[in-house]
Amino acid sequence: MSTADGLLAAIDGVGADRRRGGFSRHGFDRAELELREWFVGEAERRGLAVRTDRNGNVWAWWGAPGPDAVVTGSHLDSVPGGGAFDGPLGVTTALAAVDLLRANWFVPARPLAIVVFAEEEGGRFGVPCLGSRLLTGAIDPDAARRLTDADGVSLAEAVAEAGLQPARLGRDDEALGLVGRFVELHVEQGRGLVDLGAPVGLASSILAHGRWRFRFTGEGNHAGATLIGDRRDPMLPASALVLAARRAASGVDGARATVGRLVPNPGGANVIASTVDLWLDARAGDDAGTRAVVGEISAAAVSAAADEGCTVAVTEESYGDTVHFDAALRDELSGVLGDVPVLATGAGHDAGILAARVPTAMLFVRNPTGVSHAPAEHAEAADCTAGVVALATVLERLAG
Ligand code: HGY
Ligand code: MN
Ligand code: MN
């Protein structure tokens, strides 16, 4: 019988990032396509019927696809230089849970599926949960088709290369209409469970969060020949924004603001940049808090740009209000799992997108350090197994 960590070990080399450490596996790139193939092989080996929907999400069905299905799953893509567990743990525990249920002679009384969502991290095209947003109609398909990666390849071109029809990207009520309940298992991205001494927990909510792109424009010039007083250097207001992000988030209880990606153009060591692009990730317990943080940061950026004779353009690339998971489903799962901890999370998930359309819950597996989106991300084998048992218990309850 397979184990979740055994299945993780099977994909350990895929998309290994020698420069950053960890893994870089992004929507429809070679590494993620290889992982999709691996998943399809594992699913078919278990006699699951596999189909890829119009948005590139892969569904593996135990029994004929049908209404009121119980669906579990997660994603296989990563952040740049990400850990091994964020996403794949939800997929491997689902496969191992099917094995465990089969070993116990369980036969689902309603359709049951494992889904792998496309581009959950937004690591290539910039919009997180892209596959689940397209499925649920939470993103305009024309805008999605125009999304481009760092090399200028559009989502339309990438999905066409993966064998999909770009014109068909978009809300898929036929696929979504089959989903009765969705339960995603995920490695915890935080220290809640380790501080409580529990291997498994349930999710209560997800912070409101979004991603904003800022473009600062100044005047490209020579680092040596240009006097300080003659400069319009976009790196100055960009730097002011980074510091303003920490200041603004520190002023709102529980808020977070991060600049993890900043790209000067042209990017020469002896060149004053002509433009600087940066991406702000901001989150808070509610919409008002998040908007307040972003507002304060934007004001600081505009003022710093004016001081340096630069201009600034802001684009909201993604946003989602606070997600409260279905309380009845959460309580039902709490009943079958025993009094496992119920935790809020600061991390976004496909479950957070589906929650707008179907009753959704999340299971968390203990992360001994809480570190995530980094190569150090980890979950102990025993806790992964506890996750498999918990997920199998949940699936048996819901699909029994
Ligand atoms: O960014 C997030 O919160 C998630 O890990 N995609
Ligand atoms: Mn993630
Ligand atoms: Mn994830």
186 Cα to the center of ligand 2, angstroms: 9
Q: Which atom of ligand 1 is nearest to the CA of 373?
A: 5
Query: How many angstroms separate the Cα of 368 from the Cα of each of 19, 248, 342, 383, 385?
Result: 25, 30, 17, 10, 15
In angstroms, the CA 282 to CA 250 distance is 12
199 Cα to the center of ligand 3, angstroms: 18
* pLDDT score at 1: 65
- CA 338: distance to chain centroid? 28
* pLDDT score at 268: 98
* pLDDT score at 339: 84
230 Cα to the center of ligand 2, angstroms: 43
* pLDDT score at 19: 97
Amino acid code (one letter) for 202: L
Is there a shared CATH topology between the 4-207+322-399 domain and the 208-320 domain?
A: no
Q: Which atom of ligand 1 is nearest to the CA of 189?
A: 5
Question: Candidates 79, 117, 377: which one to mutate for ligand 1, based on the most atoms within 8 Å of Cβ?
Answer: 79
CATH code: domain 208-320 is 3.30.70.360
Contacts for 133 with CB less than 8 Å, ≥ 6 apart: 127, 139, 144, 353
Q: Which atom of ligand 1 is nearest to the CA of 120?
A: 6
121 Cα to the center of ligand 1, angstroms: 6
* pLDDT score at 2: 78
Rg (C-alpha) for the chain, rounded Å, is 22
Domain-by-domain residue ranges, the chain?
4-207+322-399, 208-320
CATH code: domain 4-207+322-399 is 3.40.630.10
Spans in the chain with pLDDT lower than 70: 1
By C-alpha distance, which of 375, 326, 13 is closest to 184?
Answer: 326
Q: Which atom of ligand 1 is nearest to the CA of 346?
A: 3
Ligand (nearest to CA of 79)? 2
Ligand (nearest to CA of 348)? 1
DSSP character string of 40-63:
HHHHHHTTPEEEE-TTS-EEEEES
Question: Candidates 349, 353, 371: which one to mutate for ligand 1, based on the most atoms within 8 Å of Cβ?
Answer: 349
Q: Are the C-beta atoms of residues 149 and 104 closer than 8 Å to each other?
A: no
Q: State both tokens at 199.
A: 């291997």
* pLDDT score at 120: 98
400 Cα to the center of ligand 3, angstroms: 27
78 Cα to the center of ligand 3, angstroms: 8
Is the pTM higher than 0.85? The answer reads yes
349 Cα to the center of ligand 3, angstroms: 6
Q: Which atom of ligand 1 is nearest to the CA of 348?
A: 3
What is the CB < 6 Å shell around ligand 1? 120-121, 128, 347-348
